[in-house]
Amino acid sequence: MKRVVSLMLSLLLICCSCGKTNEATEQFFSMDTVMTMKADGQNAADALLLAKQKIYELEGLFSVTREDSEIYALNRDGRAELSYDTQKIIERALEMKDMTGGAFDIMLRPVSKLWGFTEGTPRIPGKDELYAAVQKYKSSTLTVSGSAAICSGEIDLGGIAKGYAASCVRDILTQNGVESAVVSLGGNVMLRGARKDGSPWQVGIAHPKKKDELIGVLQAEDCAVVTSGGYERSFEQNGVTYHHIIDPETGYPSQSGIISATVVAADDTMADALSTALFVMGKERAESLWRTVGGFEMILITDSEIIVTDGLDFSPQDNAFSVCKLEK
C-alpha cells in the first residue's frame, strides 16, 4: 500500500481545473498500480468506463502471475492460443527488442522471476541459480504464427503492458470523440490533445533521489510520457540497492549510471518499452539510438546530471543537477 501511495504522489499530474461540464474521472487499481484517468468531452464518462473495462481485460490476458491469463498458460505449457491483443503486444515487444539491441527483452522472465519483484517477494538470487536462469533465458525461443504461440522459455510483459494499455485507451478516446484527456497508468502518462483551454499539459517528473518531490516539469500534448526508475521498486541489503530493471547481459539489476529514464513519443507502447530499455542502455547508447533511429525524445537522469533532448519543453527544478541539452 505504501508503494501505491508513493506512486500516486511520485507522478504528480498538475492540471488546472477546467469547467465542470462534460468532465469525467476514473481511478482504480490494475496491473499492480494505481491508474487515474481524466477526460473532457461529451462522451467522456462513457469512454473512460470502456477504457477501464479494456484495461481489466488486458490485465486478465497479460498477467504473469494470474493463473487464468494467456501468458501464464504460455509460460506453463510452452504453447498457447493467443487472442488478438496478446499477439499484437508480443509483436510490438519483439520489435522493441530489435530496436534496442536486446536491452528490452520480454523473454527475461526466468531471470526476473528469481529476483521476485513482480511477486512482491524480492530477494538476491544465488550465483548458481542466476547463472542457470541467464543460460536458460539466452537459449530460449519464441515463435508466434497467427494465434499459435510456442515458447521454450518464459515471458514477462511487465515492461510494456501499461504502454500497450495506454495505446488502447487512446484508441477508445478517439473513437468516442474525446479530444482532451490525461491518463496515468502508474509511471505511464498518456496525453490526448491539449488541456481544454488549449494550453499544453504539465507533467511532473518524479525526483529519483527525493521521495515525493519533482525533478522538473514537462510541458507536452498529444503524446506518451513514460518514466522508468530504479527507485520505484527496490530493496536494500548490506548497503547495496537492488531494483527491478534487469540488464539482460548480466541478469543483475542494471547499473548503467542512469537512475531515471523518461521517454516522450507519439507511440504509447514504444515509449513504455523504450523507457525500460534506455535505463539499461546507459547514456551513450541511448543518445546514439536517439540520433540514429529517433522517433522519441528523452530525459535521462544520472547521479549528477539531467540530459534532455532538444525536442522537449522541460523545466528542471533541482539546481544540484547540471543540465545537458542534446541537439540533433
Contact of 85 with 61, CB cutoff 8 Å: yes
138-177 residues in contact with ligand ADP (CB under 6 A) are 156, 158-159
Q: Judged by CB under 6 A, does residue 246 bind ligand ADP?
A: yes
Q: Select the binding partner of residue 280 from Mg ion, ligand ADP, none (C-beta < 5 to 8 A, by kind).
A: ligand ADP
Residue with cell 539546481: 319
Q: How far is the CB of 194 from ligand ADP (least distance, A)?
A: 25
26, 105, 267, 272: residue in contact with Mg ion (rule CB under 5 A): 272
Q: How far apart are CA 225 and CA 216, in angstroms?
A: 13
Instruction: Please report how close the Cβ of residue 268 comes to ligand ADP at its closest, in angstroms.
Output: 12
Q: To the nearest whole angstrom, how small is the minimum distance from the Cβ of residue 302 to ligand ADP?
A: 17
Q: How far are the Cα atoms of 42, 199, 317, 321 from residue 215, in angstroms, in the given order?
A: 35, 22, 5, 9
Selected from 153, 208, 230, 248, the binder of ligand ADP by CB under 6 A is 248
For residues 69 and 82, give the distance between their C-alpha atoms in angstroms, rounded to a whole number.
10
Task: Please give the full DSSP string across 264-319, using - where no structure is assigned.
Answer: EES-HHHHHHHHHHHHHHHHHHHHHHHHHT-S-EEEEE-SSEEEEETT-EEEE--T
Task: Give bridge partners of residue 306 from the DSSP assignment.
Answer: 301, 323
Binding mask 179-218 for ligand ADP (x = CB under 6 A): -------xx-------------------------------
Question: 176, 227, 276, 302: which one contacts Mg ion (CB under 5 A)?
Answer: 276
- Indicate the helix (H) or strand (E) that contains 71: helix 70-77
Q: Which residues bind ligand ADP (CB under 6 A)?
A: 104-106, 108, 112, 117-118, 156, 158-159, 186-187, 228, 232-233, 244-246, 248, 272, 275-276, 280
